Amino acid sequence: MPMRLKSVDKNFEQQFATLLSQKREVSVDVDNAVRDIIADIRARGDAALVDLTLKFDRLDLRKSGIAVTAAEIEAAVRECSKETLDALHFAHDRIADHHKRQLPSDDRYRDAAGVELGHRWTAVESAGLYVPGGLASYPSSVLMNAVPAKVAGVPRIVMVVPSPGGELNPLVLAAAKIAGITEIYRIGGAQAVAALAYGTETIRPVVKIVGPGNAYVAAAKRQVFGIVGIDSIAGPSEVLVIADGHNDPDCIASDLIAQAEHDTAAQSILMTDDENFAASVEQAVARQLQTLPRGNIAGESWNAFGATIVLKSLDEAPALADRVAAEHLEIATENAEDLSKRIRNAGAIFIGHVTPEVIGDYVSGSNHVLPTARSARFSSGLGVLDFMKRTSILKLDEAALAALGPAAMTLARAEGLEGHRRSVEVRLAKTT
């Protein structure tokens, strides 16, 4: 059974702190193994890729080739139903439309001292997208990672996806095609991350690597960070639902379950000011789990990490929600809009009684790659800016140099950097 907390209880603060500090993932220390894999790829390139893929994916790249061919991609598309392809196109177009609004503006201006300042945004020259293999190989994630890169204007986007035993999910290839990705390699794990970061004979290196993966992939991304840019390290998914009694318990229960079915380490929390409603939702969850294909997974997550939190008043919700800093925050209350404005920490907020989080997973247009494990306190969902960088611009004329130079010289000397001082001094001497 999930935890039931009440804010009026004496030990509430202690129970809530315990809930927040729960460790949902077994942290496996794979750092040394990953270090060896990266060193091997750097030393032996393709040959190491072949050996490691044979070992971990039971696939002989010498026979299959490292790159997925255009013909394979076409064949995969033919395997998909028209209904699914249509839905992927629908999702793709909505994601593209929404992300175009994230394109940043350049800035350039001359200030009162005559100094020209500004910045310019440019796309990274290449990006690598890691797509997990097997069960967690989701076409929706391909779109969510690839489309922002495309919208940013990244000229080269590379996808890697492991193919255990030679199997590739045709939907993943179809999604790649819809997103316009043509350079795809059938590799995975730390070896794929290393190949993207350092390159091999076949694979040119990229400058940014994004996408979710297992402990090896996460460790590899952490280790190559600095050589390339990475996105955040994804943890198990989570939802916090703030709901008043004016909801159908079955609807709220289904949202909690949708999150829980991802993974036994997922977390679903309900916060409500109506204890009877909390009980009804718990009953609805129990009922729905019985007929769900992934009911065992969802049940395990719900029992281990699920919680219902009964508040005296919904006014208590924002401060508590900020401490949860949920990846997904559903606010299904009468005053949802007002309540949402009082929240600082959340990856995404789903407002009102008819906004199930699942819509955001697929077709709303907003990104489903969101900060997990309380990292919404300091990071954002994936977006166009993750594939761009800002170059600052400075331009002085002689008057501007004369206006700024003396203060710069004073500070350079105060910091003991006489060479800095002189570089201003020599120009002032030549120009005045």
Looking at the DSSP assignment, which residues form a beta bridge with residue 130?
160
Contact partners, residue 173, CB within 8 Å, separation at least 6: 68, 72, 73, 76, 77, 184
CB contact at 8 A, 165 and 190: no
| Site pattern 182..221 for a copy of itself (x: CB under 8 A) | -------------------------xx-------------
Out of 238, 261, 282, 327, the active site residue is: 327
Q: Which of 45, 229, 236, 318 binds a copy of itself (CB under 8 A)?
A: 229
Q: What is the DSSP letter of 311?
A: -
Q: Which is nearer to a copy of itself, 110 or 312 (CB)?
A: 110
CB of 46 to a copy of itself, least distance (A): 20
Candidates 102, 128, 93, 139; CA nearest to 211 is 128
CA distance 304 to 104: 42
CA distance 326 to 241: 9
CA distance 291 to 296: 10
Residue 236 contacts a copy of itself per CB under 8 A: no
- Single out the segment in contact with a copy of itself by CB under 8 A; choices: 45-53, 109-117, 181-189, 270-278: 109-117
CB contact at 8 A, 405 and 422: no
Q: Does the active-site annotation cover 99?
A: no
Footprint of a copy of itself on residues 68-107 (CB under 8 A)?
Answer: 83-84, 86-88, 90-91, 97-98, 101-102, 107
Residue 365 contacts a copy of itself per CB under 8 A: yes
Q: Which is nearer to a copy of itself, 10 or 430 (CB)?
A: 430
Footprint of a copy of itself on residues 394-423 (CB under 8 A)?
Answer: 394-398, 400-401, 404-408, 410-412, 414-423
Q: Enter the tokens of residue 305.
A: 């990490």
Candidates 331, 275, 320; CA nearest to 20 is 320
Q: Enter the tokens of residue 206.
A: 């990229």
Q: Which of 145, 264, 267, 364 binds a copy of itself (CB under 8 A)?
A: 364
| Site pattern 260..299 for a copy of itself (x: CB under 8 A) | xxx-------------------------x---xxx---x-
Residue 61 contacts a copy of itself per CB under 8 A: no
Q: Which of 60, 74, 79, 111 binds a copy of itself (CB under 8 A)?
A: 111
Q: Does the active-site annotation cover 246?
A: no
Strands 183-185 and 208-210: unpaired
Residue 383 contacts a copy of itself per CB under 8 A: yes
